[in-house]
Amino acid sequence: MATYGKRLKDAYKDLDKDVKFDIKKAVEILEKAKSKKFDETVELAFNLGVNPKKSDQMVRGACVFPHGIGKSVVVCAIVTPDKVDEAKEAGADFVGGDDLIEKITNENWTDFDKLVTTPSMMGKVGKLGKILGRKGLMPNPKLGTVNNDIQAAVKLVKAGRVEFKVNKAGVLCCQIGKLSFGPDKLYDNAMELVKDVVKLKPSTAKGAYIKKLSISSTMGPGIRLDETAIVNEAK
């Protein structure tokens, strides 16, 4: 516990509450506070000027990061028999149809990170909402996980396609990689996410859209970023 406290104390020496940092400098500060026991996940958090209770102000999407997120994605593909070989060739870890639906229903089985399916199977998959929904595993056509081109769907999620969604408090959090990526790769990933979030600004949202932007790591401090400069760069 003492070591953890010292690491954070050293990191906070580089922080000034009145200063907003650029992404690369913030990552350098997080690196000083990193754990020696594991590779920490880095997360970007947006405070958005939207009202998520209004359907036309919901901000939701998915991002394909140029450097991935540093984790192997386990994909389950529920498809018709004619799509089985396509799904396997694309790299899906579990492939099936009614057999996988039964396994999820009877065993509450969810040993995967993403589920992809085809429109023709969505009627059956939709009945799994109580099991998949609470774990954020329900496929969505808007996010490309319900797709007739099952190879493209599998390859996208395997490449590190990460879904994000603003919560009830107007905060959107999304992991952008690992500390071991270093400042340059984390900068690239962060900017890709910022660009996607900026493009999703609801037309009905009034005032400042990205009110606050911060970056943090699993065991490190939260660091306020210069949201104005970063958003301008992303446009």
CATH number at residue 190: 3.30.190.20
Please give the share of the chain, as a percent, with pLDDT higher than 70.
93
Is residue 24 domain-shared with residue 53, that is, in the same domain?
yes
Q: What is the pLDDT at residue 1?
A: 37
Does the pLDDT value for residue 2 go beyond 50? no
Measured CA to CA in angstroms, residue 44 lies from 66, 147, 218, 231 at distances of: 16, 29, 11, 13
Confidence category of residue 3, pLDDT binned at 50, 70, 90:
very low
d(CA 213, CA 176): 14
Q: Is residue 6 part of a domain?
A: no
pLDDT band at 14, cuts 50/70/90? low
Calculate mean pLDDT across residues 72-100. 96
Read off the pLDDT band of 32 (50, 70, 90): confident
The conformational region for residue 136 under phi > 0 = left, psi -120 to 50 = alpha, else beta, is: left
pLDDT at 142: 84
Which has the closest alpha carbon to 48: 61, 58, 35, 63? Answer: 58
- Rounded-to-10 torsion of CA 82, 84, 85, 89: 140
Q: Which of 93, 127, 159 is the last residue of a domain?
A: 159
Enclosing domain of residue 81: 75-159
Residue 183: predicted pLDDT: 96
pTM of the model: 0.75
Claim to verify: residue 155 and residue 83 sit in the same structural domain? yes
Residues with Cβ within 8 Å of 127's Cβ and at least 6 positions away in sequence, in order, are: 101
Query: Does any domain span residue 221?
Result: yes
C-alpha span between 215 and 41 (Å, rounded): 11
- 153 and 83 assigned to the same domain: yes
- Confirm whether 99 is domain-assigned: yes
- Three-state SS at 207: coil
Closest of 228, 183, 226 to residue 16, by C-alpha? 226
Joined together, the tokens standing for residue 142 give: 């808007």
Beta bridge partners of 178: 41
Same domain? For 184 and 135 the reply is no
**Domain-located, residue 3:** no
> Percentage of residues in the chain with pLDDT exceeding 90?
74
Q: What is the pLDDT of residues 124-180, one digit of tens each?
A: 999 999 999 988 899 999 888 999 999 999 998 888 788 899 999 999 999 999 999
Q: Establish if 5 belongs to a structural domain.
A: no
Judged against a pLDDT cut of 70, whether residue 6 lies above it is answered with: no
| Total domains present in the chain | 2
> How many other C-beta atoms lie within 10 A of the C-beta of residue 42?
25
State which of 136, 159, 182 marks the end of a domain. Answer: 159
What is the CATH number for 80? 3.40.50.790
On whether residue 9 sits in a domain, the answer given is: no
Residue-wise pLDDT tens digits, 34-81: 877 889 999 999 999 999 999 999 999 989 899 988 888 899 999 999
Evaluate whether residue 216 is within a structural domain: yes
Sign for the pseudo-dihedral over CA of 129, 135, 138, 141: positive
Domain boundary among the residues 128, 159, 190 is at 159
124 and 52 within one domain: no
Structure tokens at 89: 């060739």
The 3-state DSSP class for residue 156 equals: helix
- Which residues, in sequence order, are CB contacts of 124 under 8 Å at separation 6+? 78, 98, 101
Instruction: Classify residue 2: in a domain, yes or no.
Output: no
pLDDT at 111 over 70: yes
